[in-house]
Amino acid sequence: MDWISNFENLKFNLISLSIRNNSGEEIDPDSAFTQWKDCILQIRKARKTVFFIGNGASASMASHISADLAKNAHIRTEVFSDLSLITAIANDLSYAEVFAEPLRRRMTEGDMLVAISSSGKSPNILRGVQEARRLKGIVVTLSSMDPNNLLRTQGFLNFFVPAVSYGIAETCHMAILHYWMDLVVASIE
């Protein structure tokens, strides 16, 4: 694929962004981003925490956006990227618990979990989301690949791009996260 074709593929996937609420109803992007921004501003005001989870490149995105949101919007954020924590939980419990277990100990009602998964099928992401919901956290999901993936039905907002490759999915997810963060920062300046 040449550069222009790759760019057109990326453009198609971003234009095809689908956002559903927890009832499965489609929401237009501007309304969804406004809801997400307004929610995060309430979290900031209440001094609650935003947790980010992901695997691989999605873990890098989680860490990147967590740092930017803390630095630029002065919002409490947390990621579970400590290698000792991850390996201890994976070894002693299971890899499926690497996000659920720390959320059990740190998340409180009204905190937010942003779950990023290209496939929307990662057991550790799904367990983390399940735990966040049990704790009455606010869940936002980003997924791609399979439009029927389990993650896509778990959040108060569920962002889905129809990408079939990880590179396009991850690039779209990063664009979504940066756009949201820029809206938040512009609202507090």
**Residue 56 belongs to a domain with what CATH number?**
3.40.50.10490
| Mean pLDDT, the chain, integer | 97
Asked if pLDDT for residue 189 goes beyond 80, the answer is no
> Which pLDDT belongs to residue 98?
98
Domain that holds residue 96: 21-188
What total number of domains does the chain contain?
A: 1
State how far the alpha carbon of 59 is from the alpha carbons of 88, 102, 135, in Å.
18, 15, 22
Q: What is the pTM of this model?
A: 0.97
CA 45 – CA 109 distance, rounded (Å):
15
Residues 51-107: pLDDT tens digits? 999 999 999 999 999 999 999 999 999 999 999 999 999 999 999 999 999 999 999
Residues 19-28: pLDDT tens digits? 999 999 999 9
Q: Is residue 6 part of a domain?
A: no
